Amino acid sequence: MVTEERWVGVEDVAAHLGVAKDSVYRWIEERSLPAHRVGRLLRFKLSEIDEWVHQGSEQETASHSHRKRTSSKTGQNPTSQKSRSRKSKKTKNG
């Protein structure tokens, strides 16, 4: 007997991921969280959600390692320019 995966709602996905429902809605819009509209309702397969999470963590790891290499190549201190501009300003005493 083959059991078909059941469809779940936003609350179930939020509980499964340990996040607020607002995060689920935001991720649907901004990060392409896999959701299926059934009339006015959103329905999900938890297997698709888990796959999306794993793909996102792989991409995030790759982008973080790329960012670290890029920033270390420049060798610039982002605060050095700010401190120079503060030192160059003179105050008047009267």
HSE-up (13 A, CA, CB side) for residue 16:
15
State pLDDT tens for residues 67-86: 665 555 555 555 544 444 44
State pLDDT tens for residues 24-63: 999 999 999 999 999 999 999 999 999 999 998 777 667 7
- Beta strands of the chain (E only): which ranges? 36-38, 41-43
Q: How confident is the model at residue 13 (pLDDT cuts 50, 70, 90)?
A: very high
**Per-residue pLDDT, 72:** 53
pTM over 0.75: no
C-alpha to C-alpha distance for 88 and 91, rounded to whole angstroms: 10
Residue 75: strand, helix, or coil: coil
**Per-residue pLDDT, 58:** 72
C-alpha to C-alpha distance for 44 and 14, rounded to whole angstroms: 11
